[in-house]
Amino acid sequence: MAMLRQLNITLPEETLRMIESKVASGEYKDPSDVVLEGLSHLEEHDKELEHWLRTEIVARCESMTADPSRGLTLEEVRADLADDEVFEEFRKAS
């Protein structure tokens, strides 16, 4: 079993209520388990992002370096982003 250490953190009230709700539902035995599960998901997300960057993005960069004519102009990129609903929501939230 891993060595345990105590850590005191400050969280927004909404986050604390969510943790307390998860424990109260019986889904988790204590707040630490809720946080550990969340961190496990974050770690998995980070691994997936790293894999995506190292495979798809590197391949695309290499492809563009080999044949720059396949690329889009700045105007084409802006037009594509303007049509992208997810990007538009992100832009509004920023």
Tell me, yes or no, whether 71 lies in a domain.
yes
The model carries a pTM of 0.63
Tell me, yes or no, whether 66 lies in a domain.
yes
Tell me, yes or no, whether 8 lies in a domain.
no
Residue 1: the pLDDT is 66
3 state DSSP class of 19:
helix
Query: What does the pLDDT look like over 22-61, one tens digit per residue?
Result: 999 999 999 999 999 999 999 999 999 999 999 999 998 9
Domain count within the chain: 1
**Minimal CA–CA distance to 36: which of 13, 67, 4, 10?**
4
Tell me, yes or no, whether 63 lies in a domain.
yes
Tell me, yes or no, whether 2 lies in a domain.
no
Residue-range definition of the domain harbouring residue 79 = 19-93
